[in-house]
Amino acid sequence: MKEFYTNINKKVYYITMLVLIAIMIMGLFIGNPRMGEHGAGFILHVVLIVILSVCLLLYPRYVTRVFRMIIMIVASVYFYTLFFLYPDTGSTFIFLCFIPIISILFFDAKLFYFSLVLNSVSIMFTFSYIVLVSQGYYFIKQDLIGNVINFIGSQVIIYFVFYLSYGRLKKQLLYYEQIKQTERLKISGQLAAAVAHEIRNPLTVVKGFLELYEKDTSVSDDIKRHYSLMIGELNSAEYVISQLLSVAKPNKDQEMETVNVKNVLQSVTDLLHSYGLLHDNNIDLNVTEECFIAANTIEFKQLLINIIKNAMEASEIGDSVKITADMKNDFVEIKVIDYGHGMSEAEVGSLGTPFYSLKSKGTGLGMMICYNIAEKYKGTIDVQSSKGKGTTVTIRFPSKNNTIWSKGNSYIKK
Ligand code: ADP
Ligand code: MG
């Protein structure tokens, strides 16, 4: 598809250039006052047309900044030569005003600014020459100030055109890159899900047999130790696979409930306390008021577990992780604060990228799942971290405080 467009663009480019070259040749031979002279001026005109034509036709083969710069300079020299060779042709002044437009065609910002400055300096010298030395150019001399103002005006307009079109093009390129990245992620996600699904079944069978052998009394304890090690490894493989599947195939029809944030936080911290004991970290939970959000409880728990687990894993032995939940305007704001090793700005930027992990046994899927869940329920996750000092993860979900979930599966307005 891309090649198709490039071919079309190349075709348009060559046709346009051939038309331009034809116009330049027409200017050279039709009604040219210097044609009969065959003097140095006419020869210079011919040479410049040849050089410029060759450069323009060769450009698609050498798309480099140096080559663009060469075209720019040759074109400037060509237009200024026309201006000086044919002092009676007032319209060549228009070309001098238009010179920076050439770099807009190339979409090269640096070249544009370079040509804008070069052109302004050249026009200053040209006008000085006209006023101080030259006998001709009455159309400029008669209203010098007016011509200078017109020139400045034309450069401002060109700058404005460049600024708008360049900004739009950059945005489009960025958008195109994002679409490409999303498409790539989608395809790799589907592929990973398909592979994960196929791997899960044989894994379950192998694990089942190992568990069976582990209970076999005829097997020696030494070998049994190997079995439990193998089961442990299979468990982590299963965990990775289930995480992968939940990213690639997010369950669309998860039931929305009104979730009591305080209760969920309490149960999650209870669950993670046992994990924390292994790491010797304390969880310091501080929720003052009852807050409610609309989400699926299991998914919300998964989000909290991932983030709190990360905080505990980043913390030093003995340090505690602080969790707070408050109402902020129409949002429930949960903060998970740790005083662990923290992250650099680049590391924070990479959070949520699939398989990005700095842990030897990390899956690098935890934060991606969290971002997906938050996005699904119109929530946000904001990470602030400083290397060596700690991390604060702020989770915001739209509050659902005016409705309370009753046991009869219906909402009661407060
Ligand atoms: P995993 O925990 O499997 O490595 P995650 O997506 O949960 O994957 O996290 C990705 C990486 O981000 C982690 O490996 C870790 O380096 C970094 N990270 C996440 N949370 C924190 C935190 N609270 N403090 C420091 N680093 C963190
Ligand atoms: Mg994690």
Convert the pLDDT of each residue in 298-314 to its tens digit.
889 889 989 999 999 99
User: Residue range 101-116: average pLDDT?
Assistant: 86
Whether 280 and 204 share a structural domain:
no
Which ligand 1 atom is at minimum distance from the Cα of 306? 7
* Residue 206 and residue 113 share a domain: no
Ligand 2 ion: residues within 5 Å (CB): 310, 366
Q: Which of 190, 216, 248 is the last residue of a domain?
A: 248
Judgement on whether residues 261 and 404 belong to the same structural domain of the protein: yes
Q: What is the CATH number of the domain that holds 396?
A: 3.30.565.10
**Do 293 and 406 share a domain, yes or no?**
yes
The residues pairing with 336 across neighbouring beta strands, listed in sequence order, are 323, 393
| Of 154-158, 276-280, 357-361, minimum mean pLDDT range | 276-280
pLDDT at site 235: 85
Residue 170 domain-assigned (yes or no): no
Domain end call among 248, 269, 298: 248
Domain range spanning residue 123? 2-142
Least confident range from 242-246, 265-269, 346-350, 406-410: namely 406-410
Position 290 confidence tier, pLDDT thresholds 50, 70, 90 = confident
Looking at the domain assignment, is residue 228 inside a domain?
yes
Task: Report the separation in Å between the CA atom of 279 and the middle of ligand 1, taken as the mean of its atom positions.
Answer: 16
Residue 306, ligand 1, Cβ within 6 A: yes
- Confidence at residue 407, expressed as pLDDT on a 0 to 100 scale: 40
Q: How many structural domains is the chain composed of?
A: 3
Residues 230 and 280 in one domain: no
pLDDT digits (tens, 9 = 90+) for 224-241: 888 888 888 888 888 778
Question: Do 235 and 261 belong to one domain?
Answer: no
Q: How far is the CA of 309 from the centre of ligand 2 (A)?
A: 6
Domain boundary among 142, 167, 191: 142
What are 364's two structure tokens? 């690098």
End-to-end CA distance of the chain: 57
CATH number (domain holding residue 201) = 1.10.287
Residue nearest to atom 23 of ligand 1 (CA): 311
Pairing outcome for strands 331-338 and 380-386? unpaired
Domain match, 219 and 121 both? no
Residues 185 and 89 in one domain: no
Residue 123 lies in a domain: yes
Asked if the structure places residue 166 within a domain, the reply is no
| Structural domain contains residue 158 | no
> Residue 207 Cα, ligand 2 centroid: separation in angstroms?
25
Q: Is residue 149 part of a domain?
A: no
Choose which residue among 347, 350, 353, 357 to substitute to test ligand 1 binding: the one with the highest number of ligand atoms within 8 A of its C-beta: 357
Specify if 408 maps to a domain: yes
pLDDT the model gives residue 6: 54
288 with 402, same domain? yes
Instruction: Name the pLDDT band for 2 (thresholds 50, 70, 90).
Output: very low
The residue whose CA has the least distance to atom 18 of ligand 1 is: 310
**CA dihedral defined by 23, 24, 29, 33, rounded to 10 degrees?**
120
Note whether 205 and 282 are same-domain residues: no
- Ligand 2 geometric centre to CA of 343 (Å): 14
Does residue 82 contact residue 92 with C-beta atoms inside 8 Å? Answer: yes
pTM of the model: 0.52
Domain shared by 284 and 375, yes or no: yes
> 156-215: per-residue pLDDT in tens?
999 999 999 888 888 888 877 777 766 776 677 777 777 888 888 888 889 888 888 888
Q: Where are any strands of DSSP class E within 278-367?
A: 282-287, 292-295, 320-328, 331-338
- Confidence at residue 254, expressed as pLDDT on a 0 to 100 scale: 67
Any ligand 1 atom below 6 A from CB of 272: no
Question: 266 with 349, same domain?
Answer: yes
Confidence (pLDDT) at 276: 66
59, 64, 70, 73: CA torsion to nearest 10: 100
Q: Label residues 10-44 b or e (16+ Cβ within 10 Å = b).
A: eeeeeeebeeebeebeebeeeebebeeeeeeebeb
Residue 167 domain flag: no
pLDDT at res. 34: 79
